[in-house]
Amino acid sequence: MTASGVVGAVVFGLLSAYFPPLNAEIYAVAAPVIFPDLWVLHVSAMTGGLVVGKVTHFIAAEKGAEAFVKRREEKEARTAAKSRRPRGAVRERLARWSKSMIDVLDRPRLGPLVILASSGVGFPPLAVVTVAAGIKGISLTLFVVVTTIGCLARFLITSWLVVQGIQLDF
């Protein structure tokens, strides 16, 4: 039962990397309830699957960076020609802040902090940061280590909070 649960955790993490509606936080919330004695193992396995999935995105972005940049420039040229509907002030501010965070990914100290914030807090979105890090040529080792630390911390804290709620009988 434990082995199949751990394999299921890895598969869930992998699938959540490719299918965003299959949210990894759902697993982090459910693991302590389903596996009360082994939730740390299951959450860690799910995180491993998620990071492996993100690594495939990173590598694909790294290998296809030139084609991606070309398509992006063409799309931006077409979009600039069309009129855009106005955005709200908060949404515009978040978009500018997210873009400025992604722009510093290739800096030696700030880049890892952006990856850590993305994987640990979720802003800017990890899917966007993963692709941007691949395109900007960030070290794969650095990306894996920082992403694993951030995601693992986020999911373990989420699960731990559920355990605390269960113990308090909420």
pLDDT in tens, the chain (170 residues): 456 689 999 999 999 999 988 889 999 999 999 999 999 999 999 999 999 999 999 999 888 876 766 777 777 777 665 545 556 777 777 677 767 777 788 888 888 999 999 999 988 889 989 988 998 889 999 999 999 999 999 999 999 999 998 877 65
* Alpha carbon distance 37, 5 (integer Å): 13
Q: Which two tokens stand for residue 11?
A: 């598969």
Name the CA dihedral angle for 10, 131, 144, 15, rounded to a multiple of 10 degrees: 0
Residue 15: Cβ-neighbour burial (10 angstroms; 0-12, 13-18, 19+): middle
Asked if residue 131 lies in contact with residue 17, where contact means CB atoms within 8 angstroms, the answer is no
Kindly state the DSSP code that residue 124 receives in the 8-state scheme: S
Query: Residue 140: which H helix or E strand, with range?
Result: helix 140-167
> What are the tokens at 134?
């691949």
Is omega for the bond preceding 124 within 30 degrees of 0, making it cis? yes
Stated pTM of the model? 0.78
